[in-house]
Structure 1
Amino acid sequence: MNRLQFLAELRKSLIDTTKGITFPVISEEIEKLDEVADHIVGIQWFPLKTMSPSSFLGAQDRFINNHSILFFSDGKSLKAYEKKCISCNCLAQWITYEKKLKCFSCDKTYDVQKDSGELTCERHSMKETNGEWFIGLKSQ
Structure 2
Amino acid sequence: MYRKEFLKEMGTSLFQTMKNVYEPFIHDDLQKVEEVMDQTLGIKWVPLMSSDDSSSKLEMKFINGSPIMVIRDGANIHVLSGICHECSNIITVTTLYSTGKCFNCEKEYNFKTKQGDLSLKTIPVKKKDHVIYIGFDKEKKLGGFSA
**TM-score above 0.5:** yes
Q: How big is the alpha-carbon RMSD for the aligned residues of Structure 1 and Structure 2?
A: 2.0
Q: How far is 1:114 from its partner?
A: 4.0
Q: Structure 1, unaligned stretches of length 5 or more?
A: none
Q: Classify 1:110/1:42 alpha carbon distance in 2 versus 1 (closer, same or farther; 3 Å).
A: farther
1:14-39 CA deviation, whole Å, 9 max, x = no partner? Answer: 11111112222222212221221122
1:44 — aligned with what?
44
Q: How far is 1:53 from its partner?
A: 6.1
Secondary structure at the aligned position of 2:108 is classed as: strand
2:110 — aligned with what?
111
Distance 1:38 1:21 in 2: 28
Q: Classify 1:119/1:32 alpha carbon distance in 2 versus 1 (closer, same or farther; 3 Å).
A: same
Query: Which stretch of structure 1 is more off in the superposition, 127-136 or 108-117?
Result: 108-117
Distance 2:36 2:114 in 1: 29
Secondary structure at the aligned position of 1:20 is classed as: helix
Q: Classify 1:58/1:9 alpha carbon distance in 2 versus 1 (closer, same or farther; 3 Å).
A: closer
1:48-74 CA deviation, whole Å, 9 max, x = no partner? Answer: 24x436521222222112311121224
Question: Percent sequence identity over matched residues?
Answer: 30
Q: Is the 8 A contact 1:58 1:74 kept in 2?
A: yes
TM-score, with structure 1 as normaliser: 0.85
Q: Structure 2, unaligned stretches of length 5 or more?
A: 141-147
Runs of 4+ in 1 over 6 A off after TM superposition: none
Q: Classify 1:135/1:113 alpha carbon distance in 2 versus 1 (closer, same or farther; 3 Å).
A: farther
Q: How far is 1:108 from its partner?
A: 1.0
Q: Is the 8 A contact 2:59 2:93 kept in 1?
A: no
- 1:43-62 mapped onto 2 (5 Å cutoff): 43-49=43-49, 51-52=50-51, 54-62=53-61
- 1:1-140 mapped onto 2 (5 Å cutoff): 1-49=1-49, 51-52=50-51, 54-139=53-138, 140=140
Distance 1:118 1:12 in 2: 54
Distance 1:53 1:71 in 2: 14
Distance 1:124 1:116 in 2: 19
Distance 1:100 1:91 in 2: 13
Distance 1:39 1:114 in 2: 37
Tell me the matched-pair count: 139
Counterpart code for 1:84: I
